[in-house]
Amino acid sequence: RQLWQQRLEGGRMLGDCLQNCPDGLQAIHYSLANSQLSLLTSNAEKREQDALFHRLPEQSDAGLLLRNQLNLVNDGNQTTGRIGLLGQGNLHNWTTLADARVDRSPSEQGDMRYRMNQLYAQSLHEAHFFRLGYFSTDSQGLVRQPALLG
């Protein structure tokens, strides 16, 4: 960054670089929409490309995280409540998740309801993502920040 700051200190015209082009500079573009300066150089294609994916460890450890939540309410006559259980773990580059709820309604029968929200295993192998089991879609990684002025 400091190198290019020094190269551009004297000022330059936007567009194609036609004369006195330092370090392979070919063009300069400035975007008013997002206040971004882009420098096109011939050196960009010559650099060794970084790997697209990180290598996973050969010897993978196993782990487990457990979470529970208990809610109870007693109005003097009846007790109602809910318990939520969440377990997340990993084993040999696979991530597992189990999410379940049990609740007791305030009806006269004292009905217990059981619900399995998600139960799956997932793994990422370079450009391929696998998720096997019972799951609902989520927006993880899909939510984008709105572009705001200022």
pLDDT at 25: 82
C-beta pairs of 94-99 under 8 Å, 24+ apart in sequence: 94/121, 94/122, 94/123, 95/121, 95/122, 95/123, 96/120, 96/121, 96/122, 97/121, 97/122, 97/135
Q: What is the reported pTM? A: 0.53
Pairing status of strand 94-104 against strand 112-125: antiparallel
Residues 83 and 22 in one domain: no
Residue for token pair 């609740």: 103
Residue 7: which H helix or E strand, with range?
Answer: helix 2-7
pLDDT at 76: 84
For residue 145, is pLDDT > 70?
Answer: no
pLDDT at 108: 65
Residues 8 and 67 in one domain: no
Whether residue 73 lies inside any domain: the answer is yes
Query: What range does the domain containing 6 cover?
Result: 2-41
Residues 67 and 116 in one domain: yes
C-beta pairs of 112-117 under 8 Å, 24+ apart in sequence: none
pLDDT at 5: 81
Q: What is the pLDDT of residues 81-127, one digit of tens each?
A: 999 999 999 888 888 999 999 998 777 666 888 999 899 999 888 77
pLDDT at 65: 92
pLDDT at 101: 93
pLDDT band at residue 67 using 50, 70 and 90 as cut-offs: very high
Residue 90: which H helix or E strand, with range?
Answer: strand 79-91
